[in-house]
C-alpha cells in the first residue's frame, strides 16, 4: 500500500453525543459486553461499540442520559455509569 492510499483510508468515527467526526484514534470506543459497558482502550474488543470524543461534556452526557444506552441498545446499570465516570478524560 502506498502512503497516499493509507491517508485516504483513515477510519472516521462519530461521537455518539456531539456527532463530531474524528479519526478513530481521537475517539474512545465504548463496547457493550456480557459484563456491561467496557471502555475499549485497544480498539479490538468484540461487541457492539459506540464512540465518544474526549470532551468532558460528552462523557457527562452519557453518564447522565440514555444516549449511549440507545446507541448500544441496552440499559445502563449503575455500575456501567460509574465505569464511564471513572474513564472520563480529565480536562
Give residues in contact with Zn ion (CB under 5 A).
Answer: 15, 17-18, 53, 55, 58
* Least distance between Zn ion and beta carbon 51 (Å): 9
Measured in degrees and rounded to the nearest 5, phi and psi for residue 40 equal: -90, 95
* Least distance between Zn ion and beta carbon 34 (Å): 27
Provide the CA 34 distance to its chain's centre, in angstroms. 17
Determine contact, residues 10/25, Cβ cutoff 8 Å: no
- Angle among Cα 7, 47, 9 to the nearest 5 degrees reads 10
Which grid coordinates belong to 83?
465505569
Select 58 or 84, whichever has its Cβ closest to Zn ion.
Answer: 58
* Least distance between Zn ion and beta carbon 1 (Å): 31
Select 55 or 81, whichever has its Cβ closest to Zn ion.
Answer: 55
Select 34 or 66, whichever has its Cβ closest to Zn ion.
Answer: 66
Amino acid at each position: 500500500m502506498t502512503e497516499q492510499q493509507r491517508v485516504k483510508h483513515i477510519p472516521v468515527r462519530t461521537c455518539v453525543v456531539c456527532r463530531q467526526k474524528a479519526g478513530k484514534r481521537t475517539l474512545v470506543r465504548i463496547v457493550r459486553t456480557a459484563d456491561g459497558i467496557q471502555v475499549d482502550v485497544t480498539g479490538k474488543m468484540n461487541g457492539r461499540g459506540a464512540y465518544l470524543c474526549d470532551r468532558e461534556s460528552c462523557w457527562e452526557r452519557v453518564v447522565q442520559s440514555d444516549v449511549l444506552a440507545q446507541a448500544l441498545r441496552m440499559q445502563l446499570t449503575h455500575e456501567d455509569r460509574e465505569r464511564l465516570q471513572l474513564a472520563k478524560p480529565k480536562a
